[in-house]
Amino acid sequence: MASLPDQFNDLEPFIEWSLPNERARNAKRVASPIEEIAKFYETMVPRTEAILEYLDRFELGKLPEREQRLMNLMLALAEVANAVELYKNPAVIDGFDPKRLLLMHER
Protein backbone atom coordinates (compact mmCIF):
# COMPACT_ATOMS: atom_id res chain seq x y z
CA MET A 1 0.00 0.00 0.00
CA ALA A 2 1.30 3.45 -0.83
CA SER A 3 2.00 5.53 2.23
CA LEU A 4 0.22 8.68 0.97
CA PRO A 5 -3.26 9.20 -0.51
CA ASP A 6 -3.18 8.30 -4.24
CA GLN A 7 -3.50 11.80 -5.66
CA PHE A 8 -0.47 12.89 -3.64
CA ASN A 9 1.75 9.87 -4.13
CA ASP A 10 4.21 11.97 -6.15
CA LEU A 11 5.32 13.38 -2.76
CA GLU A 12 6.57 9.93 -1.76
CA PRO A 13 10.26 10.88 -2.24
CA PHE A 14 9.85 13.35 0.65
CA ILE A 15 8.22 10.89 3.04
CA GLU A 16 11.11 11.19 5.50
CA TRP A 17 9.80 14.70 6.26
CA SER A 18 6.60 13.13 7.58
CA LEU A 19 7.53 13.39 11.24
CA PRO A 20 5.20 13.18 14.23
CA ASN A 21 6.07 16.27 16.28
CA GLU A 22 7.69 19.69 16.39
CA ARG A 23 10.91 18.50 17.98
CA ALA A 24 11.52 15.90 15.29
CA ARG A 25 10.60 18.29 12.48
CA ASN A 26 12.82 21.04 13.83
CA ALA A 27 15.72 18.62 14.37
CA LYS A 28 15.49 17.47 10.76
CA ARG A 29 15.26 21.06 9.54
CA VAL A 30 18.38 22.26 11.33
CA ALA A 31 20.32 19.11 10.35
CA SER A 32 19.47 19.30 6.62
CA PRO A 33 21.33 21.27 3.95
CA ILE A 34 19.33 24.31 2.79
CA GLU A 35 19.26 22.91 -0.78
CA GLU A 36 17.48 19.80 0.46
CA ILE A 37 15.02 21.87 2.50
CA ALA A 38 14.37 24.13 -0.49
CA LYS A 39 13.65 21.14 -2.72
CA PHE A 40 11.05 19.83 -0.27
CA TYR A 41 9.59 23.33 0.12
CA GLU A 42 9.41 24.00 -3.62
CA THR A 43 7.70 20.69 -4.26
CA MET A 44 5.16 21.19 -1.49
CA VAL A 45 4.16 24.82 -2.01
CA PRO A 46 2.31 24.37 -5.35
CA ARG A 47 0.40 21.41 -3.84
CA THR A 48 -0.54 23.13 -0.60
CA GLU A 49 -4.00 24.44 -1.53
CA ALA A 50 -5.03 21.06 -2.90
CA ILE A 51 -3.69 19.20 0.11
CA LEU A 52 -5.46 21.47 2.60
CA GLU A 53 -8.69 21.29 0.64
CA TYR A 54 -8.43 17.48 0.78
CA LEU A 55 -7.49 17.27 4.47
CA ASP A 56 -10.25 19.69 5.49
CA ARG A 57 -12.78 17.02 4.49
CA PHE A 58 -11.65 15.13 7.58
CA GLU A 59 -12.42 16.07 11.15
CA LEU A 60 -9.42 17.63 12.90
CA GLY A 61 -7.37 15.02 14.69
CA LYS A 62 -9.18 12.08 13.10
CA LEU A 63 -7.08 11.30 10.06
CA PRO A 64 -6.53 7.81 8.68
CA GLU A 65 -2.88 6.74 8.51
CA ARG A 66 -2.11 7.84 4.95
CA GLU A 67 -3.80 11.20 5.46
CA GLN A 68 -1.94 11.68 8.73
CA ARG A 69 1.36 11.17 6.91
CA LEU A 70 0.27 13.78 4.38
CA MET A 71 -0.67 16.16 7.19
CA ASN A 72 2.71 15.59 8.80
CA LEU A 73 4.32 16.64 5.51
CA MET A 74 2.30 19.87 5.69
CA LEU A 75 3.42 20.46 9.27
CA ALA A 76 7.00 19.95 8.12
CA LEU A 77 6.40 22.59 5.45
CA ALA A 78 5.17 24.93 8.21
CA GLU A 79 8.38 24.15 10.10
CA VAL A 80 10.79 24.79 7.22
CA ALA A 81 9.03 27.78 5.65
CA ASN A 82 11.08 30.31 7.65
CA ALA A 83 14.32 28.57 6.74
CA VAL A 84 13.59 29.17 3.06
CA GLU A 85 11.54 32.38 3.13
CA LEU A 86 13.37 34.34 5.83
CA TYR A 87 16.74 32.92 6.81
CA LYS A 88 17.97 31.23 3.60
CA ASN A 89 19.57 28.96 6.14
CA PRO A 90 18.40 25.80 7.93
CA ALA A 91 18.54 27.27 11.43
CA VAL A 92 17.72 30.70 12.80
CA ILE A 93 20.81 32.77 12.04
CA ASP A 94 22.83 33.27 15.24
CA GLY A 95 19.83 31.89 17.14
CA PHE A 96 19.49 30.20 20.52
CA ASP A 97 19.81 26.40 20.36
CA PRO A 98 16.25 25.05 19.84
CA LYS A 99 17.27 21.78 21.51
CA ARG A 100 17.36 23.73 24.77
CA LEU A 101 13.66 24.63 24.53
CA LEU A 102 11.36 22.72 26.83
CA LEU A 103 7.98 22.33 25.13
CA MET A 104 4.84 22.98 27.16
CA HIS A 105 2.40 22.01 24.41
CA GLU A 106 1.38 18.61 23.13
CA ARG A 107 -0.83 19.70 20.28
Long-range contacts of 35-44 (CB under 8 A, 24+ apart): 37/80, 37/83, 37/84, 37/90, 38/84, 40/14, 40/76, 40/77, 40/80, 41/77, 41/80, 41/81, 41/83, 41/84, 43/11, 43/14, 44/11, 44/14, 44/73, 44/74, 44/77
Give me the least distance between CB of 58 and other proteins, in Å please.
Answer: 7
Contact between 99 and other proteins by CB under 8 A: the answer reads no
Contact between 7 and other proteins by CB under 8 A: the answer reads no
Contact between 5 and other proteins by CB under 8 A: the answer reads no
- Residue of 2, 31, 45, 50 interacting with other proteins (CB under 8 A): 45
Segment near other proteins (CB under 8 A); pick from 2-10, 12-20, 32-40, 93-101: 93-101
Contact between 93 and other proteins by CB under 8 A: the answer reads yes
Q: Write the binding mask 51 to 80 for other proteins: x where contact by CB under 8 A, - elsewhere.
A: -x--xx-x-x--x-------x--xx-xxx-
